[in-house]
Structure 1
Amino acid sequence: MGLLATVAGPIAERAANTSTAALIASSVVSFVVLAVVLNVLSQLLFKNPNEPPIVFHWVPFVGSTVTYGIDPYKFFFDCRRKYGDVFTFILLGKKTTVCLGTKGNDFILNGKLKDVNAEEIYSPLTTPVFGKDVVYDCPNSKLMEQKKFVKFGLTFDALRSYVRLISDEVDDYIKKSPTFKGQHGTVNVPQTMAEITIFTASRSLQGKEVRDKFDSSFADLYHDLDMGFTPINFMLPWAPLPHNRKRDAANRKMAETYMEIIRARRAEGAKRDSEDMIWNLMSSTYKDGTPVPDNEVANMMIALLMAGQHSSSSTSSWIVLRLASRPDILEELYQEQLAVLGADLPPLTYEDLNRLPLNDQVVKETLRIHAPIHSIMRKVKRPMHVEGTPYTIPTTHVLLASPGVTSLDSTHFPNPTLWDPHRWDEGAANAGRSGPTANGTAHTTGNGDEAPEDEEKIDYGYGLVSKGTNSPYLPFGAGRHRCIGEQFAYVQLGTIIACLVRKFKFRNREGEEGRVVGTDYSSLFSQPMRPAHVVWERR
């Protein structure tokens, strides 16, 4: 009996444990099934005619998160066909209302401060990366002043001086990079263009001291900061995750590095070696008479470098990949330089860029198809009625604009998925109604903003800018949060591409002719799938 009891006891215990585990598993399954059933019934039976239709989804909280995350543009166009330009989907438990088209862009991007708010959406993500008291970690009025400081640091003289600095950086990179040893080889485009854009931006915008740091530990710090933009940090920016600890350490080190440069400049009375942004901010003063504190200068430098790097890195990568798939366009670019600048191809100048229309059109067309940011979000602060619809968006919703949808819409751009820089030729039949820079007739206003003569302008606190939302082409956004680095981006991208074109021929690898890699939407910024290799050959 004792032996039987010894054996039977553990068996009975295991049976009991198994039974308990089965009961728990059964309860969990039942709960999930019940939640799914109730979620479906609520969508079918309790529709609110005063709110936009909700995109059908099976699982509560998750909603359409996965479908949206895999390919936002496919999701937007599919939903538009079913629900129209205004619809709501569930994004990680949050009701997110999408407003598409030029009217949707205007509704959200030109929304009034009392109605929509960007800070509440982005501050949890950006503040740990950029630092305190700048960008979304300060009142909107202060942010507008900070944008004014940066924008008026991008003067014509500054932009003009940057072309030579950027050209020198590209040439130096080509000479030193192991990737470009010899007469031909292959290059992983996204990795290489990320390095080139960070080197050129740091040298031109931030000065020699900052650029020199990128030869050592600064690049690693930048990468650690960059990891702070992972989508999970929209929800858990405070979580003690490994990438967040590295992010915080990188922010402290990067800020201190900038502070050391600023202190040294002030102490030594150093002379400017270029019109870099640090000099501009060090001499700026808020409206109340307070000079911009050094810690805010440092944090704005982090923000400036981080914000511009993603879009320029992605766009320059797409340009090279597109040119490798279209060697005929690449050769046209080279012949354009020979015809306009001369067979000896002298060092590039700012004026030269303005004489290379196809070079500029390649940048514009790439930004049209490959907008760096696919979704722009705002928190609803007051109920907002959508004109022309029965819908009123409540304060429990987040609004989402996607200017990239209009630039991929055949209503505005015939054959919209075709990468064709010549659609921007003056008088081109397939250009469509493509906005301020469609045919090269845009002018540059006194503060560097590009807009047509009859475009309505507004001053949000950092100088007159075009409202711009009537255009289907908005690669740099619109409204008070429109990207102030637009002019610099065109100068940087145009210079980089012009330099590469005169040095190399690019083509896809054998068997991949005409092919272009897919888009990676896993980050907040759209970018080419990695790795993405093409073949290069010296001219």
Structure 2
Amino acid sequence: MSGLKLLAETGFVYAQYLYYAFLALPIYQRVSIVLFTPFVYNIVWQLLYSLRKDRVPLVFYWIPWFGSAVPYGMQPYEFFAECQKKYGDVFAFVLLGKVMTVYLGPKGHEFVLNSKLSDVSAEEAYTHLTTPIFGKGVIYDCPNSRLMEQKKFTKGSLTREAFKSYVPKIREEILCYFKNAKSFRFGEKTHGIANVMETQPEITIFTASRSLLGDEMRKKFDASFAQLYSDLDKGFTPINFVFSYLPLPLYWKRDEAQRKISSTYREFIGERRKNNDIQDRDLIDALMKNSTYKDGVKMTDQEISNLLIGILMGGQHTSAATSAWFLLHLAEKPELQEEILEEVQRVSGGEECTYEMFQEMPLVNNVIKETLRMHMPLHSIFRKVVNPLSVPGTSYVVPRGHHVLVSPGFSHTNELYFPQADVFNPHRWDDDSSVTTTSNTGKDTVDYGFGAVSKGVSSPYLPFGGGRHRCIGEQFAYVQLSTILTTFVRTIKWKLPPGGKVPPVDYQSMVTLPEEPALIEWELRK
């Protein structure tokens, strides 16, 4: 014990000596040491890391803490491709102080999306990002078992019968938007220019609120309410992955939007409870009637309100981004618009489209499918490792506290799986036997608590993710997008402005959006 005490005292004296020696240096030398020490430590740490045979190859970086944030944040797929050439399908990089282990390709899909709940956690990976937006007690701010039950509560409004009733409501909302929105103003204008990054988020939130939340709630959704959702949407930025709250206007707007939207839902729920007016009209009724967990705990009205935000935000990302992209790609190929119109007219016989008719429109479905291939809304999917995770077929072990990352969008745009991957070609899906796609049905399924889903995630095409966190809104997204596409095609013709091109992808947020301005020229059909 005396030896340890002597060693501690010696260390303290030596530390004091170094401190006073540092203070004795000229100011410029002290500044230089403070500035360069983190860089030296960073390089030494990377060298020691590289000597370990049980660690995934690490992408070298110069700037401490930031790591590879810039190349990853600007062009993630290009960054992955460059790393793949150097290290193979499995590598790691540092992102804002976090070590991200990437596994590319279908084997990576299986490794991450089907990892055991005891080994990886989506909740710990995403809660800093999503909780300020959705609110407390829902999605990733609760145990995984709770999330699975919340999905089950929601699926009651995502049935075939519900979809049948949603189609005419969605179409009516789009036509109303055409009449009133400044980009169109039907009745006043027969042609004009529209920015799809303004029109599609608004159309998406209006149609989703009308179909899922009902007519009464839709009446509260004016342009200002859509703007609140836009303010919430801007909270999905990579920096929020680390810092949930910063004293910045962006965060203040996000938090104010969350409060106003959730309070609107909560007041509406309170009115129905007060009047004992709980029926089977919409998702709000469904959650009010059926939101008691297996252990007997009931969701509070605030939690139901927060869950409603999460549900609409999930659809907002997928449908707004996807519809914006297919409008831009079809603007580049007007002949495809006419081909779609021909299919719609042939199947519908000139009548209004119904849910059943969409099942007989392969080109409409393939346009959506191809858009999701080229522009999967989320370019990266994360999990936090909670127990050391072995990488199959290697000596690598991902330690506890690191993150694993998978990118189905990288496979979607890879020539290995999709020849001419950078070409928008819906007809590649006319015979999709060459590409295995997952399904919610089949013998090889598992029920995580919200209904049977496919266990297989080894397909190169996973636009809605897979495993226990697979998006349950896939069928609703197809209903919403099919109605948007067919209504647009029947009502207007559109093209890119003179000299215009389909804009590049903006990866600044967590969603793959077109860079603005994303313009189309439209003309009313006669």
Q: Secondary structure at the match of 1:362?
A: helix
**CA offsets, 1:456-515, max 9 Å, x none?**
211111111112312111111111111111111111111101100111111111122xx2
What's the counterpart of residue 199 of structure 1? 206
Letter matched to residue 499 of structure 1:
T
Is the contact made by 1:414 and 1:432 (CA closer than 8 Å) also made in structure 2? no
Q: 1:215 & 1:312 partners in 2: Cα distance?
A: 19
Q: 1:35 & 1:256 partners in 2: Cα distance?
A: 46
**CA offsets, 1:140-179, max 9 Å, x none?**
1111100111123211111111111101101111111221
Q: 1:299 & 1:43 partners in 2: Cα distance?
A: 42
Is the contact made by 1:507 and 1:534 (CA closer than 8 Å) also made in structure 2? yes
Letter matched to residue 151 of structure 2:
K
Q: 1:24 & 1:301 partners in 2: Cα distance?
A: 57
- TM-score (structure 1 length as normaliser): 0.88
Q: Secondary structure at the match of 1:88?
A: strand
**CA offsets, 1:50-86, max 9 Å, x none?**
1110012122222111010001111111111110111
What's the counterpart of residue 500 of structure 1? 488
Is the contact made by 1:158 and 1:275 (CA closer than 8 Å) also made in structure 2? no
Q: 2:435 & 2:254 partners in 1: Cα distance?
A: 43
Is the contact made by 2:440 and 2:452 (CA closer than 8 Å) also made in structure 1? no
Say if 2:512 is the partner of 1:526: yes
What's the counterpart of residue 479 of structure 2? 491
**CA offsets, 1:217-270, max 9 Å, x none?**
422322332233232222221333322233222222222211121122233344
Is the contact made by 2:104 and 2:406 (CA closer than 8 Å) also made in structure 1? yes
Q: 1:64 & 1:304 partners in 2: Cα distance?
A: 32
Count of aligned residue pairs for this structure pair: 497
- TM-score (structure 2 length as normaliser): 0.90
Q: 2:223 & 2:335 partners in 1: Cα distance?
A: 39
- Which of 376, 389, 395 in structure 2 is aligned with 1:384? 389
Is the contact made by 2:278 and 2:285 (CA closer than 8 Å) also made in structure 1? no
Q: Secondary structure at the match of 1:96?
A: strand
| Match runs of 1:194-233 below 5 Å | 194-215=201-222, 217-233=224-240
**CA offsets, 1:110-152, max 9 Å, x none?**
1111100111111122112111111111111111100111123
Letter matched to residue 144 of structure 2:
N
Q: 1:404 & 1:93 partners in 2: Cα distance?
A: 24
Say if 2:163 is the partner of 1:159: yes
Q: RMSD across aligned C-alpha pairs, in angstroms? A: 2.0
Is the contact made by 1:108 and 1:401 (CA closer than 8 Å) also made in structure 2? yes
- Which of 478, 500, 503 in structure 2 is aligned with 1:517? 503
What's the counterpart of residue 458 of structure 1? 446
Say if 2:80 is the partner of 1:76: yes
- Which of 128, 132, 135 in structure 1 is aligned with 2:132? 128
Is the contact made by 2:447 and 2:453 (CA closer than 8 Å) also made in structure 1? yes
Q: 1:28 & 1:328 partners in 2: Cα distance?
A: 64
What's the counterpart of residue 46 of structure 2? 43
Note the C-alpha offset of 1:453. 3.3
What's the counterpart of residue 253 of structure 2? 246
Structure 1 unpaired stretches of 5+: 1-19, 437-449
What's the counterpart of residue 403 of structure 1? 408
What's the counterpart of residue 420 of structure 1? 425
Is the contact made by 2:413 and 2:421 (CA closer than 8 Å) also made in structure 1? yes
What's the counterpart of residue 139 of structure 1? 143
Q: 2:461 & 2:79 partners in 1: Cα distance?
A: 20
The 3 A distance-change label for structure 1 pair 301 and 60 is same
Is the contact made by 1:283 and 1:291 (CA closer than 8 Å) also made in structure 2? no
The 3 A distance-change label for structure 1 pair 194 and 460 is same
Percent identity between the two aligned chains: 50
Note the C-alpha offset of 1:352. 1.4
Say if 2:134 is the partner of 1:93: no
The 3 A distance-change label for structure 1 pair 51 and 269 is same
Is the contact made by 2:157 and 2:212 (CA closer than 8 Å) also made in structure 1? no
- Which of 431, 434, 456 in structure 2 is aligned with 1:432? 434
Is the contact made by 1:121 and 1:378 (CA closer than 8 Å) also made in structure 2? yes
Letter matched to residue 171 of structure 2:
S
Note the C-alpha offset of 1:396. 3.2
Note the C-alpha offset of 1:275. 4.3
Q: 2:325 & 2:507 partners in 1: Cα distance?
A: 14
Note the C-alpha offset of 1:452. 5.4
Is the contact made by 1:518 and 1:528 (CA closer than 8 Å) also made in structure 2? yes
Letter matched to residue 36 of structure 1:
F
The 3 A distance-change label for structure 1 pair 237 and 271 is closer
Letter matched to residue 453 of structure 1:
G
Note the C-alpha offset of 1:29. 4.4
What's the counterpart of residue 7 of structure 1? none
Deviates more, 1:471-480 or 1:258-267: 258-267
Q: 1:23 & 1:243 partners in 2: Cα distance?
A: 42
Q: 2:93 & 2:64 partners in 1: Cα distance?
A: 11
What's the counterpart of residue 288 of structure 2? 282
Is the contact made by 2:125 and 2:382 (CA closer than 8 Å) also made in structure 1? yes
Structure 2 unpaired stretches of 5+: 1-22
Q: Secondary structure at the match of 1:213?
A: coil
Letter matched to residue 119 of structure 1:
E
Note the C-alpha offset of 1:44. 4.5
